[in-house]
């Protein structure tokens, strides 16, 4: 049997090695079995049986291969089932072809076959040898296994040929797509983009050229990523269930199509070509070439206008040609229009991103002009174009240092060192900046790696830096190990002095003072001026470990050798003397230090404390007081950071003033600080106020709606904005319209009134700055709480009641949770005391109200409350509400009832007053004050016009007054009250009688009751007789005599009792 099978090979989408399909396996098995059968003609029964077994095993292998490579991948598809049945038909025909040469008449062992005997079975040549048949296969055309027209085998071959050709074309297209995707982004002008917009009006738009290119690059990359994602989703076709009527109708072409998509396909071994395909670059138009040549000649002949005209035409015709922009840059550079020149150079650089020379030139110009952001952009592009240029990476590292981005600077310096291992300075700079960023461990790591790579001897400066970092992290043992290892490696050389000193410092920290002193012996007074840093480092380490005597010795070595830094040296010497309890020497050196370091607040406060310990209070005050021409440092902004403005100075000064009793100076110094701190705390407690946007900010927001301006490079592009930004822009537009209407209205009103209109184009409202309180912990610190109380006492002593009440109210409102109960009571007592000493006591109402709430049954507390209320000029609704609440809460409490009655009496509501007083009388019938109040209320009521039984009311009133006389045991005050009541109702005879009794009695002086907040130890200076009522009684008696016509008697009464 002669057969030639064209093996179909497929490749996977990603390009792999070739792998035979199921068809190839089946055809190869068919050929092998055919040759075996033909060569075995004439064999005995045992051989025939063996061949039959081989045939069955081969059939099983073929079935397993079909199942693994075809049936399993399509097990979930009904189409796979139909294809499987088609494969069974093809497989049956193949087996029939294989079995016929062995058993022509079936399995009965008869091998006689007429067609076979004739030497031609389906066109196969009779009895060639195996070797000859192979040679014949090489020379002859393939012969169809089945001559049937339109058979499935022909369909298989056609499908195989077609699929192979299509796959070759697809692979070629796929390679081109992969090359395009793997190429880096290169800027190109698209339709609708004007290249000149990238150069003109850069300053007006407020966007630097590099920012425009960055935005376009980001948009391009985002668009590319989006397309890749969409393509990936489109390739993932969902599996669809085939209908039942398609199961039996599968064709061979469908089988091959399914195999092509679902079979295991080998990738091509041919390597992909990278970059642009050969011959795909567009050649430059000869016309453009001539135009560029003409422009270059015009430029060389200094015909710059002609050169610009030609080049601009080239830009219009070929906007993505970089040569025209480069030449335009040369032209504008010659015209000294460097901004436009750099704009064209920037376009040329983006069109040819691999040209690092252009990026370097733009970077240099950007640095000269101060465009740091653009310089960074160009430097990164230049490094991308030439990644092995160490100089560029060094510039990038220094630029990051200037920008304050120390993390990126450290990474850049480390990259410089990796490119150039000999550059140790870059390694040290990277370690320093990693340490500055807080990555101390990594800093140590890179230095240690460098030392490990230099076993024969490392750079001493690297060991010095590593030792410094390790010593700062308290790893003195590790630092000492590296220094000793360096000494072992370089045994022939003496250890550098700086490493020797560091080793000594490590020994000091490890407790080995003797070894440290041996290493420090090289530092002597005669060479101290040459090693100032080392001596200072040793002295600082010793002082940090409280070895003050040796530290002082090393500091004294440097005295007079440092020059302008003597102030810091004197300060360290003074602290050593202070630690050694030598105050006089410490004061001397602190004074020397302050001559140079005038703004050192800590040194000034320390010196003031030492002066106070020595009893030199005046000198301490003079040291802390601001200069006379300083205006306290608040009038001039350049003096706002001077030492006398520091809060620590003021607090120390206030402490001295308070201890010395200098209340005026104490209040003047501390009152502004406390008031400012409380005011800022009040603003913060109200919550963050909404920041009012300026007109500039509103216009910037509205641009999102209006789109880019005409001079902006992004005109024509729809702005990308979030919905929240669009909402803000809409609100800003409405607010601008509202402001415009209000402005037009004000203008019309001004013009109508004849006033010149002065337009204010800014419309910007000043924003309130975020103020910091001078005393940050005023409301939390216990010491500051006591300072507030001391200030209130000082203000009360100075009769600055308004200021004291302001401080008290603010403190109680803001610090109600942090203040202790004792301090709250003290502040409220101070507030109550000052409330009835001010002209308007309404600011102290809360204080007296709280005192009454805490002591509702205290007569003294109610006296304090009523003393404040009685001085209120207008009616205060808070008072009436509070008294009403107290009466309802404490029904058996008499003082609020009496106060209500007093208020009714004050407004001449005598009937209501009598009702309130009688309520109090029911509770306290034997109280003299209650009886007095009831009697006076009834007498006043009797003098009204609407009362009918006036005589009865007068008698009742006098009865209560006589009851008061009885309770008071005929005291002068009770006699005077009866006399005054009789005088008031016209009973002058009784009035004269009781006035004479009052004059006859002599009342001794009684101490005036103290209010709860008043100091009981304070003795008030009153003249003798301040409790005697003889003068009041004599004066009223003289009025009665005078009215009755007894002028001589009246004159005599005044002469006897009312003469001073």
Give me the DSSP letters along 328-367. HHHHHHHTT-HHHHHHHHHHHHHHSTT-HHHHHHHHHHHH
Pick from 676, 681, 678, 654: which is nearest to 794 by CA? Answer: 654
Q: What is the pLDDT of residue 407?
A: 92
Local mean pLDDT, 10-residue blocks, the chain (1060 residues): 35 38 47 46 51 59 54 42 47 50 44 39 36 37 37 39 43 40 64 75 60 78 80 59 42 46 44 48 76 88 88 85 86 86 84 86 85 85 88 89 90 91 90 92 91 78 90 90 84 82 91 89 84 90 91 87 77 92 92 89 92 91 84 49 86 92 91 89 65 71 62 49 76 82 79 61 48 80 87 89 86 81 83 74 76 84 82 72 88 90 88 92 92 93 85 92 92 92 91 91 72 55 74 91 91 85
Q: How far apart are the first and last CA of the chain?
A: 163
C-alpha–C-alpha distance, residues 608 and 618, integer Å:
10
| Torsion angle in degrees (nearest 10) through CA of 198, 201, 203, 208 | -10
Q: What is the pLDDT of residue 351?
A: 84
* 3 state SS of 891: coil
Which DSSP letter does residue 819 get?
S
C-alpha–C-alpha distance, residues 831 and 795, integer Å:
11
Q: What is the pLDDT of residue 680?
A: 85
C-alpha–C-alpha distance, residues 396 and 398, integer Å:
5
Q: What is the pLDDT of residue 854?
A: 82
**Do the bridges between strand 9-10 and strand 124-125 make them parallel or antiparallel, or are there none, so unpaired?**
unpaired
Q: Are 1018 and 874 in contact (CB under 8 A)?
A: no
Q: Which residues pair with 120 in a beta bridge?
A: 125
Q: Are 450 and 427 in contact (CB under 8 A)?
A: yes
Pick from 85, 97, 15, 108: which is nearest to 59 by CA? Answer: 97
Q: What is the pLDDT of residue 159?
A: 39
**Do the bridges between strand 124-125 and strand 19-20 make them parallel or antiparallel, or are there none, so unpaired?**
unpaired
Which DSSP letter does residue 386 get?
S
C-alpha–C-alpha distance, residues 461 and 469, integer Å:
12
C-alpha–C-alpha distance, residues 214 and 194, integer Å:
17
C-alpha distances in Å from residue 323, one per residue of 271, 306, 311, 318, 351: 35, 16, 9, 10, 9
Buried residues in 398-417 as b, exposed as e (16+ CB within 10 A): ebbbeeebbebbbbbbbbbb
Q: What is the pLDDT of residue 958?
A: 93
C-alpha–C-alpha distance, residues 15 and 176, integer Å:
13
Buried residues in 211-241 as b, exposed as e (16+ CB within 10 A): bbbeebeeeeeeeeeeeeeeeeeeeeeeeee
Pick from 183, 182, 212, 186: which is nearest to 197 by CA? Answer: 212
Helix, strand, coil share of the chain (percent; to 5): 65, 0, 30
Pick from 369, 373, 378, 368: which is nearest to 347 by CA? Answer: 378
Q: What is the pLDDT of residue 783?
A: 83
Pick from 511, 502, 510, 506: which is nearest to 531 by CA? Answer: 502
* 3 state SS of 755: coil
C-alpha distances in Å from residue 176, one per residue of 225, 265, 916: 18, 20, 107
| Torsion angle in degrees (nearest 10) through CA of 1043, 1047, 1053, 1056 | 160
Q: What DSSP element (H or E) covers 62? A: helix 45-66
C-alpha distances in Å from residue 873, one per residue of 378, 650, 833, 848, 905: 77, 40, 18, 17, 16
Q: Are 466 and 444 in contact (CB under 8 A)?
A: yes
Q: What DSSP element (H or E) covers 829? A: helix 821-835
Q: What is the pLDDT of residue 211?
A: 75
Q: What is the pLDDT of residue 639?
A: 52
Q: What is the pLDDT of residue 62?
A: 56
Pick from 978, 972, 977: which is nearest to 999 by CA? Answer: 972
> pTM for the whole thing?
0.56
Which DSSP letter does residue 196 get?
G
C-alpha–C-alpha distance, residues 335 and 328, integer Å:
11
| Torsion angle in degrees (nearest 10) through CA of 254, 257, 261, 266 | 140
C-alpha–C-alpha distance, residues 506 and 571, integer Å:
25
Q: What is the pLDDT of residue 920?
A: 92
Backbone φ and ψ of 146, nearest 5°: -135, 130
In degrees, rounded to 5, the angle at the alpha carbon of residue 351 between the alpha carbons of residues 348 and 352 is 85
C-alpha–C-alpha distance, residues 394 and 402, integer Å:
13
Q: What is the pLDDT of residue 338?
A: 83
Q: What is the pLDDT of residue 128?
A: 37
């Amino acid at each position: 049997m002669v057969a030639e099978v064209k093996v179909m090979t497929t490749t996977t989408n990603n390009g792999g090695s070739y792998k035979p399909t199921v068809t190839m396996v089946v055809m190869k098995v068919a050929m092998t079995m055919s040759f075996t059968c033909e060569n075995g003609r004439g064999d005995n029964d045992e051989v025939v049986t063996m061949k039959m077994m081989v045939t069955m095993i081969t059939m099983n292998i073929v079935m397993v291969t079909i199942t693994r490579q075809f049936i399993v991948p399509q097990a979930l598809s009904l189409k796979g089932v139909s294809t499987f049945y088609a494969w069974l038909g093809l497989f049956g025909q193949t087996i029939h072809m294989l079995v016929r040469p062995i058993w022509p008449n079936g399995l009965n062992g008869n091998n006689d076959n007429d067609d076979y005997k004739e030497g031609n079975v389906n066109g196969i040549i009779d009895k060639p040898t195996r070797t000859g048949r192979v040679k014949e296969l090489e020379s002859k055309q393939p012969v169809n296994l089945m001559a049937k027209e339109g058979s499935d085998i022909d369909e298989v071959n056609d499908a195989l040929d077609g699929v192979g050709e299509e796959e070759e074309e697809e692979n070629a297209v796929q390679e081109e797509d992969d090359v395009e995707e793997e190429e880096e982004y290169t800027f190109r002008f698209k339709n609708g983009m004007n290249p000149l917009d990238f150069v003109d009006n850069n300053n007006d738009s407020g966007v630097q050229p590099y920012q425009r290119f960055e935005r376009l690059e980001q948009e391009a990359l985002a668009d590319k990523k989006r397309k890749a994602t969409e393509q990936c989703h489109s390739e993932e076709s969902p599996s669809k269930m085939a209908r039942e009527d398609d199961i039996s109708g599968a064709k061979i072409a469908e089988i091959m199509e399914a195999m092509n998509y679902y079979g295991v396909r080998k990738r091509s071994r041919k390597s992909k070509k990278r970059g642009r395909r050969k011959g795909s670059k567009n050649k430059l138009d000869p016309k453009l070439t001539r135009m560029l040549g003409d422009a270059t000649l015009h430029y060389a002949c200094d015909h710059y206008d002609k050169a610009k005209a030609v080049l601009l035409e080239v830009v219009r015709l070929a906007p993505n040609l970089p040569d025209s922009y480069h030449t335009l840059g040369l032209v504008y550079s010659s015209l000294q229009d460097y901004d436009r020149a750099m704009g064209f150079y920037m376009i040329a650089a983006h069109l040819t991103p691999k040209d690092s020379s252009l990026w370097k030139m733009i970077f240099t110009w950007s640095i000269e002009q101060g465009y740091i952001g653009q310089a960074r952009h160009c430097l990164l592009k230049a490094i991308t174009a030439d990644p092995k240029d160490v100089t560029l990476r060094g510039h990038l590292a220094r630029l990051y240092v200037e920008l304050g981005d120390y993390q990126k600077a450290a990474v850049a310096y480390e990259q410089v060192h990796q490119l150039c291992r000999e550059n140790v300075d870059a390694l040290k700079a990277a370690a320093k900046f990693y340490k500055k960023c807080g990555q101390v461990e990594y800093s140590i790591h890179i230095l240690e790696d460098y030392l490990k790579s230099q076993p024969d001897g490392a750079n001493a400066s690297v060991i010095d830096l590593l030792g410094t970092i390790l010593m700062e992290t308290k790893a003195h043992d590790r630092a000492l190990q590296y220094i000793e290892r360096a000494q072992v490696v370089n045994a022939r050389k003496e250890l550098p002095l700086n490493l020797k000193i560091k080793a000594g410092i490590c020994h000091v920290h490890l407790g080995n003072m003797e070894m440290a002193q041996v290493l420090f012996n090289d530092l002597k007074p005669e060479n101290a001026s040459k090693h100032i840093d080392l001596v200072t480092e040793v002295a600082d380490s010793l002082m940090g470990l409280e070895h003050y005597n040796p530290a002082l010795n090393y500091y004294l070595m440097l005295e007079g050798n440092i020059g302008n830094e003597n102030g810091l040296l004197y300060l360290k010497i003074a602290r050593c003397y202070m630690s050694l309890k030598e105050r006089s020497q410490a004061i001397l050196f602190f004074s020397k230090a302050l001559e140079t370091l005038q703004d050192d607040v800590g040194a000034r406060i320390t010196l003031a404390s030492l002066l106070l310990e020595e009893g030199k209070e005046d000198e301490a005050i003079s040291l802390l007081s601001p200069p006379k021409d300083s205006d306290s440092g608040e009038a001039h902004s350049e003096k706002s950071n001077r030492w006398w403005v520091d809060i620590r100075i003021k607090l120390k000064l206030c402490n001295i003033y308070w201890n010395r009793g200098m209340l005026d100076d104490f209040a003047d110094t501390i009152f502004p600080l406390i008031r400012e701190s409380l005011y800022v705390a009040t603003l913060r407690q109200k919550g963050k106020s909404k920041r009012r946007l300026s007109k500039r900010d509103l216009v910037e927001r509205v641009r999102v709606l209006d789109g880019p301006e005409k001079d902006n490079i992004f005109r024509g592009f729809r702005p990308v904005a979030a919905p929240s930004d669009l909402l803000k822009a809409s609100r800003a537009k409405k607010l601008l319209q509202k402001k415009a209407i209000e402005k037009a209205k004000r203008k019309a009103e001004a013009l109508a009134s004849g006033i010149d209109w002065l337009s204010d184009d800014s419309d910007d409202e000043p924003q309130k700055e975020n103020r910091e309180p001078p005393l940050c912990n005023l409301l939390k610190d216990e010491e500051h709480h006591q300072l507030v109380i001391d200030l209130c006492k000082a203000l009360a002593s100075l009769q600055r009641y308004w200021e004291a009440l302001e401080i008290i109210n603010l403190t109680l409102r803001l610090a109600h949770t942090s203040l202790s109960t004792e301090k709250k009571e003290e502040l409220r007592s101070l507030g109550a005391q000052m409330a009835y000493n001010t002209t308007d006591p309404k600011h102290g109402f809360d204080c007296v109200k709280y005192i009454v709430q805490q002591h509702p049954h205290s007569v003294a507390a109610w006296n304090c409350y009523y003393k404040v209320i009685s001085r209120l000029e207008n009616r205060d609704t808070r008072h009436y509400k509070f008294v009403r609440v107290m009466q309802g809460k404490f029904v058996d409490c008499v003082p609020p009832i009496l106060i209500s009655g007093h208020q009714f009496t004050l407004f001449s509501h005598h009937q209501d007053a009598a009702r309130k007083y009688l309520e109090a009388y029911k509770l306290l019938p034997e109280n003299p004050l209650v009886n007095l109040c009831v009697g006076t209320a009834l007498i006043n009521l009797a003098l009204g016009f609407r009362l009918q039984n006036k005589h009865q009311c007068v008698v009742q009133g006098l009865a209560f007054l006589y009851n008061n006389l009885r309770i008071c045991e005929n005291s002068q005050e009770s006699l005077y009250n009866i006399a005054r009541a009789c005088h008031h109702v016209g009973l002058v005879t009784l009035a004269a009688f009781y006035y004479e009794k009052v004059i006859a009695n002599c009342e001794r002086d009684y101490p005036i009751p103290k209010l709860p907040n008043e100091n009981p130890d304070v003795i008030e200076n009153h003249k003798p007789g301040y409790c005697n009522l003889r003068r009041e009684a004599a004066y009223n008696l003289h009025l009665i005599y005078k009215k009755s016509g007894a002028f001589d008697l009246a004159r005599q009464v005044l002469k006897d009792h009312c003469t001073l």
